[in-house]
Amino acid sequence: MRHWTKALVATAVIAAAAGCKKYKDNDPMPAISNVPKIELISVSPMTVQQLQDSIVFTIRYTDGDGDLGFESADSMSVELTDNRFPLTFYYHLQPLSPQNAAVAITGQLPIVLDNTILQNPDATSEQASFGIRLKDRAGHWSNAITSSPVTVTP
């Protein structure tokens, strides 16, 4: 029984050591870019009625220096584009970390499009995809992401 216990402990130690990665310059984690990075988490709902239903795009953001969002409500730093037209909507994003903190941040952000329309008023339905990007206070734009298609009905 003792041999099995020793063998099990030795196997666990070897597996744990094999799973570890060593980063350059002994950094505990790799550096996070100061250029924001986003990814799409979800789009809901997938079918909307024109001029009535809202669409919620939930994104995950990561920024190495935490300079996402502006204090001034006149600063528009979220870009949402309806790719059918193209028609772009801009939104204000409040600061996501304290000013001048220079800390890496990550989180989720809902972006709400109050409603949309059919491009062709005679259509029985249309597929709409949307592009999203964020701009930080240094003027860096994130990568652009594209949503899965949303069906728009009359």
Quick: pLDDT tens for 118-130. Answer: 999 999 999 999 9
- Domains contained in the chain, number: 1
Q: Does residue 35 fall inside a structural domain?
A: yes
DSSP 66-100: --BS-SSTT-EEEEEEETTTTEEEEEE---SS-TT
Q: Residue 76 belongs to a domain with what CATH number?
A: 2.60.40.770
Domain boundaries, position 95 = 30-153
Strands 150-153 and 47-49: what pairing? parallel
Quick: pLDDT tens for 48-62. Answer: 999 999 999 999 999
Q: Does residue 52 fall inside a structural domain?
A: yes
Q: Does residue 69 fall inside a structural domain?
A: yes
Q: Is the pLDDT reported for residue 8 higher than 70?
A: no
Supply 27's token pair: 């950094």
Taking the C-alpha atoms of 56, 58, 63 and 68 in order, what is their torsion angle to the nearest 10 degrees?
A: 20
Whole-structure pTM value: 0.79
According to the model, what pLDDT value does residue 12 have?
39
